[in-house]
Chain A
């Protein structure tokens, strides 16, 4: 499928219907997720702040997923010099920065009442902050170099180096002493979360992923149109 979609013409045909479809799926998942989240009872320890979890955890998961997509697209762009992969990588970065910002801000709003601090230099929080800086660095690097081919190569190398941060984020709560709670969903023995919280959390998590998919496809389409316009402008200038 990836090989078939590597052709920009086929990709444009596919994404024309796939982007709105994923957007609709996102709405169909997020709407009941919000409803069930607001209807859920307060947690016995966290009280009503448990409702922040329904937007914080999906934002953090999606931010990591976006970076994995950025890294994968950067690999194909760097190794196979594939223009569509580069367009996809460029399109993913601002979305990744937005989801990471959401994870950091909503986490801070949860941490203040629960931990008594807006921020601590904990391994999990610090590695997610680094993820945010990697997204910003990727965008800044692309914007700083005029030659688009050179900018794409330099940014792809940065994105690939930054991939090392993903396992650090995931395992940070196991490798270091952390205020942040450990893995509570994908763990041996099943999730440690009550079903009444797990269902809205699952709906929101898949809803966020679908929303990212829709926005990513649409931004990649925009990037392809931008390149087409540039090529046409260069051809017009050459006549």
Chain B
């Protein structure tokens, strides 16, 4: 792969894309896990 003078633009574009995708995946999974545990705990505590 020859990126010559454009490497300074191509690699940051891919790096930023990887970072944003990583944020979307991690934030989504962490958020879903946290709310799931909280909902299950609240509903269990609520049962008479």
A binds B: yes
- Interface residues of chain A, those whose CB is within 8 Å of chain B, are 38, 42, 47-49, 51-52, 55-56, 59, 94-95, 98, 101-102, 105-106, 109-110, 112-113, 211, 215, 218-219, 221-223, 225-226, 228-229, 232-233, 235-236
Bound Cα distance A232, B38 (Å): 10
Contact residues in B for A229 (Cβ distance below 8 Å): 35, 38-39, 42
Contact in complex: B17, A222 (CB < 8 Å): no
- Docked Cα-Cα span, A216 to B25, in Å, equals 10
Contacts of A105 in B (CB 8 A): 13, 16
A-B contacts, CB under 8 A, total:
93
Whether the pair B21, A211 counts as a contact (CB closer than 8 A) is yes
Closest partner residue, chain A, to B45 (CB atom):
A236
The answer to whether B10 touches A49 (Cβ under 8 A) is: yes
In the bound complex, residues from chain A placing their C-beta under 8 Å from that of B36 are 221-222, 225
Expressed in whole angstroms, the minimum distance between the Cβ of B16 and any Cβ of chain A is 5
Chain B: residues with CB nearer than 8 A to chain A?
A: 1-7, 9-10, 12-14, 16-17, 20-21, 23-25, 27-29, 31-32, 35-36, 38-39, 42-43, 45-46
Cβ-defined contact, B24 with A98, below 8 A? yes
**B interface, by DSSP: helix, strand, loop or mixed?**
helix
Q: A215-B25, A218-B28 are known contacts. Are A51 and B10 too (CB-CB below 8 A)?
A: yes
A232: contacting residue among B20, B28, B39, CB under 8 A: B39
CB neighbours (8 Å) of B2 from chain A are: 42, 48
B3 and A55 form a contact (CB under 8 A) = no
Choose from A55, A59, A215, A225 the contact partner of B28 (Cβ within 8 Å).
Answer: A215
The residue in chain A whose Cβ has the minimal distance to the Cβ of B7 is: A48
Please judge, given known A-B contacts A106-B17, A218-B32, A226-B35, whether A47 and B6 are in contact too, CB under 8 Å.
yes
- Nearest-neighbour CB distance to chain B for A181, whole angstroms, equals 17
Chain B residues within 8 Å of A47, by CB: 4, 6
Chosen A-B contacts, 6 in total, with CB atoms closer than 8 Å, are A49-B6, A101-B20, A102-B16, A222-B35, A225-B38, A229-B35
> In the bound complex, do residue A232 and residue B32 qualify as a contact, i.e. CB atoms below 8 Å apart?
no
Q: Complex formed: what's the CA distance from A232 to B48 in Å?
A: 13
Assuming the contacts A48-B6, A232-B43, asked whether A109 and B12 have C-beta atoms less than 8 A apart, the reply is yes
Closest chain A residue to B32, Cβ basis: A222
